[in-house]
Amino acid sequence: MASGVASFLLATALFLVHSHANLAGLAPEGQTAPGFSYSGNNGPDKWGSLSPIYAPCSKGKWQSPIDIDKDKVVLNKTLKPLVSNYYPTNATLVDRGYNVGVLFGNAGVLIVDGKNYTLLQMHWHIPSEHKINGVSYALSLSLSLSLSLVFLGETQNRILSKDYQYPEIRRRDMARYAAELHLVHKASDGGFSVVAVLYKLGHPDPIVAKVQRKLSELEEEVRARHEVVAQVAVGTFETQKLKRHPHKYYRYGGSLTTPPCSESVIWHVLAKVRSISREQVEALDAPLESTCKRNCRPVQPLNGRRVELFDELA
């Protein structure tokens, strides 16, 4: 009995250490990156078996990311515009090996359904994790090819690529946007609320521009020290500039997209796709570990979940 309690406490403590390490990027003393990656033996299909606390990654029923099917989303007229109250704060740019992000000091809150969620950090995934109607923008392929992919559904694509053998098409990445930004907020009860912004290639993004010079410092730091986790102070960050007033967003209940894949996240995926330059994508990608390039988790089954739509103009 006592040992049962002890192991429960240990598991809880480990869970807290890991969630902290994952979310804040502050790996505890002596511990480098959590043992997961995006390819090879510790890739996404193995996450659930790497550690008992990662079990939700394989056993969970409300996992993220997802493919948002615009024909199936439900307009919810009682959803509210996103309200945030962010302050300028000191910030640190962090390379966690599996992604690059910015940790904030006292940055203020996002208010969802009357509840305050404190802005903790933001980070990027390249290419995007969420898909909208499986539409692709992360490509520099011929128009006819991308059109056929947009036109045909995901299933038909698979059949098409099998029947007609297009080995050069990397379908998994084709149906994703170039990048995705996650603004991660946490409530005092431990629940998360994430605002996700999708990017296609084009003009530079002003948010990335703010840390772009520091990104090369970070990369040098990683190379010089041969370390997985590295950080560079950014100074004061005008988090008010991260405020979003979307006319349209998709909301659904899901999980963290990295281990431990905890199912305590309210997702807000903004419908408006922004643009990011190729140089910026490369700068965000450069510090990542080789097994963590293309740090997008495969899309997960909806399992009966409903994706709600907020549309100010509807």
Ligand X SMILES: *[C@@H]1O[C@H](CO)[C@@H](O)[C@H](O)[C@H]1NC(C)=O
Q: How far is the CB of 109 from ligand X (least distance, A)?
A: 5
Rounded to whole angstroms, what are the CA distances from 16 to 12, 13, 24, 40, 150? Answer: 6, 5, 11, 27, 42
- The closest of 132, 98, 42 to 295, measured between CA atoms, is 98
Question: Could you say which residues in the range 50-89 bind ligand X, by CB under 6 A?
Answer: 74, 76, 78-79, 85
C-alpha span between 261 and 267 (Å, rounded):
13
The secondary structure of residue 284, as a DSSP letter, is H
Q: Please pick, from the candidates 23, 27, 103, 242, the single residue that binds ligand X as defined by CB under 6 A.
A: 103
Which residue from 23, 50, 91, 207 is in contact with ligand X, where contact means CB under 6 A? 91
At 188, list the tokens: 């005092």
Question: Smallest distance from the beta carbon of 74 to ligand X, in angstroms?
Answer: 6
Sequence-ordered alpha helix ranges (H) in the chain: 2-24, 47-50, 56-59, 143-151, 154-164, 171-174, 206-225, 278-285
Binding range to ligand X, per CB under 6 A, among 104-112, 122-130, 172-180, 273-281: 104-112
Nearer CB in complex with ligand X: 104/124: 104
Contact string 123-162 vs ligand X (x = CB under 6 A): ----------------------------------------
In angstroms, rounded to a whole number, what is the distance separating the alpha carbons of residues 12 and 262?
13
Cα–Cα dist 14/156, whole Å: 44
Nearer to ligand X, 103 or 218 (CB): 103
Looking at 11-19, 108-116, 141-149, 259-267, which segment touches ligand X (CB under 6 A)?
Answer: 108-116
Rule CB under 6 A: say whether 118 interacts with ligand X: no
x-or-dash string of contact with ligand X, 15-54, rule CB under 6 A = ----------------------------------------
- The minimum distance between CB 169 and ligand X, in angstroms, equals 36
Closer to ligand X by Cβ: residue 120 or 174: 120
Which residues of 126-247 form beta strands (DSSP E)? 131-132, 179-186, 192-201, 230-237
Report the relative pairing of strands 230-237 and 179-186 from DSSP bridges: unpaired
Find the binder of ligand X among 109, 196, 198, 265 (CB under 6 A): 109
**Residues ≥6 apart with Cβ < 8 Å to 5:** none
Give the three-state DSSP class for 181.
strand
| Nearest alpha-carbon partner for 24 in 86, 81, 107 | 107
Contact with ligand X (CB under 6 A) among 14, 26, 90, 202: 90
Is residue 235 near ligand X by the rule CB under 6 A?
Answer: no
* Neighbour tally for 213: CB within 10 Å: 12
User: Rounded to the nearest whole angstrom, what is the least distance from the CB of residue 278 to ligand X in the complex?
Assistant: 29
113 lies in the site for ligand X, by CB under 6 A: yes
Please pick, from the candidates 35, 43, 105, 191, the single residue that binds ligand X as defined by CB under 6 A: 105
The type of residue at 32 is T
Least CB distance to ligand X at residue 184 (A): 13
CB of 44 to ligand X, least distance (A): 28
What sign has the CA pseudo-torsion 15, 261, 129, 267? negative
Give the CA distances from residue 6 to residues 10, 11, 14, 54, 231, in Å, rounded to whole numbers and listed in that order: 6, 9, 12, 19, 35
| Residues at the site binding ligand X, with contacts judged by CB under 6 A | 74, 76, 78-79, 85, 90-92, 103-105, 109, 113, 116, 306, 308
